[in-house]
């Protein structure tokens, strides 16, 4: 992997020579740090350069966390480079995806009669432990696959609970947790097994492992179920990670129907100190959209 001069500048390894920039200021920022752990991802600040430049820019804007769904597929050297960039800026690594469905094939079927897909899932989890350690991540996303129309749903649930418990036995001794992501079937992912935070809660309680928790992605939950604050309240003991995104459109807070200001107030009352993934796009392209993204998070952080 070649490392560009822009990357080195972003990492603060080369004194900035651009007119008007004082030497040594590249990795510094006057922006106040966000009080909650909002986590952008590669693409949030695409106009600023590649992965490492975007991390540096996010830090300069006051963001204290980062997430990267794609991290598992990145070369080891790039994973290490990203971890260093985050640690240099005092940022927390959020989730990466440990096991991703084959969307076009509607697989895996973790509740099906055949053991093979459960074993392949467990192999993904085993190999994700080293990735998590390299990145400094504490949580990894898992999507529990698709429903098998030939098997009663309750039987599938029992099998998903069993395989998640076995996966929990793999990650928990390392201080890691898998966070199962319920997804909506109405806009994005017809046929997925886990469709609500409440269903995730049931599987997590059944698995009864510190390594098996729920990722509450409020974009998906709003589409599928709504009633966001009462659901968070009921299921809070099993929720280990949050993601935001407005609906419709899956863009930054303020572009849709979700009252994120009130959700932030609720999280503050709960003294939530974890990461909140910004798993959405920008409603406007380019730098104007990036400015709007930062402003949207400043507005809800002020609650």
Contacts with ligand 3PY by CB under 6 A lie at 69, 141, 181, 183, 188, 217, 279
CB of 16 to ligand 3PY, least distance (A): 36
Separation between Cα atoms, residue 27 and residue 154, nearest integer Å: 53
Residue 156 to residue 192: CA distance in whole angstroms: 12
Question: Please, what is the minimum distance in Å from the beta carbon of residue 99 to ligand 3PY?
Answer: 11
Between 164 and 183, name the residue whose CB sits nearer to ligand 3PY: 183
**Among the listed residues 197, 274, 273, the one whose alpha carbon sits nearest the alpha carbon of residue 238:** 197
Nearest residue to ligand 3PY, using CB? 188
Q: How far is CA 299 from CA 47, 56, 222, in A?
A: 22, 22, 21
For residues 193 and 143, the answer to whether their CB atoms sit within 8 Å is no
Nearer of residues 279 and 290 to ligand 3PY, judged by Cβ:
279
CA distances from 34 to 37, 99, 207 (A): 7, 30, 34
Closest distance to ligand 3PY from the beta carbon of 43 (Å): 14
Contact 228, 218 (CB under 8 A): yes
Q: Are 3 and 80 in contact (CB under 8 A)?
A: no
Nearest of 69, 6, 115, 28 to residue 243 by alpha carbon: 69
Residue closer to ligand 3PY (CB basis): 181 or 290: 181
**Shortest Cβ distance from residue 217 to ligand 3PY (Å)?**
6
Question: Considering beta carbons, is residue 118 or 220 the nearer one to ligand 3PY?
Answer: 220
- Closer CB to ligand 3PY, 68 or 217, in the complex: 217
Minimal distance, residue 2 CB to ligand 3PY, in Å = 30
């Amino acid at each position: 992997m070649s490392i560009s001069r822009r990357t080195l500048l972003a990492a603060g390894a080369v004194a900035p020579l651009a007119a008007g920039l004082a030497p040594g200021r590249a990795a510094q920022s006057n922006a106040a740090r966000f009080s909650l752990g909002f986590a952008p991802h590669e693409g949030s600040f695409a106009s600023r350069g590649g992965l490492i430049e975007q991390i540096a820019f996010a830090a300069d804007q006051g963001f204290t966390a980062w997430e990267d769904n794609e991290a598992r597929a990145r070369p080891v050297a790039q994973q290490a480079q990203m971890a260093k960039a985050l640690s240099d800026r005092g940022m927390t690594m959020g989730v990466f995806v440990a096991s991703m469905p084959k969307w076009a094939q509607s697989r895996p079927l973790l509740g099906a009669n055949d053991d093979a897909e459960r074993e392949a899932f467990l192999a993904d989890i085993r190999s994700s432990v080293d990735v998590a350690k390299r990145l400094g991540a504490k949580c990894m996303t898992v999507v529990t696959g698709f429903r098998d129309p030939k098997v009663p749903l309750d039987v599938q649930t029992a099998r998903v609970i069993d395989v998640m418990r076995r996966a929990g036995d793999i990650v928990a001794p390392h201080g890691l947790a898998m966070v199962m992501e319920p997804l909506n079937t109405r806009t994005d992912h017809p046929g997925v097994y886990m469709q609500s935070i409440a269903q995730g809660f049931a599987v997590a309680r059944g698995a009864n492992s510190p390594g098996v928790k729920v990722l509450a992605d409020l974009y998906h939950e709003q589409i599928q179920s709504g009633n966001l604050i009462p659901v968070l309240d009921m299921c809070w003991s099993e929720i280990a990670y949050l993601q935001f995104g407005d609906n419709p459109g899956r863009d930054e807070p303020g572009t849709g129907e979700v009252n994120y200001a009130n959700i932030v107030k609720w999280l503050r009352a709960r003294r939530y100190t974890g990461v909140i993934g910004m798993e959405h796009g920008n409603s406007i392209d380019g730098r104007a959209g990036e400015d709007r993204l930062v402003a949207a998070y400043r507005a809800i952080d002020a609650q």
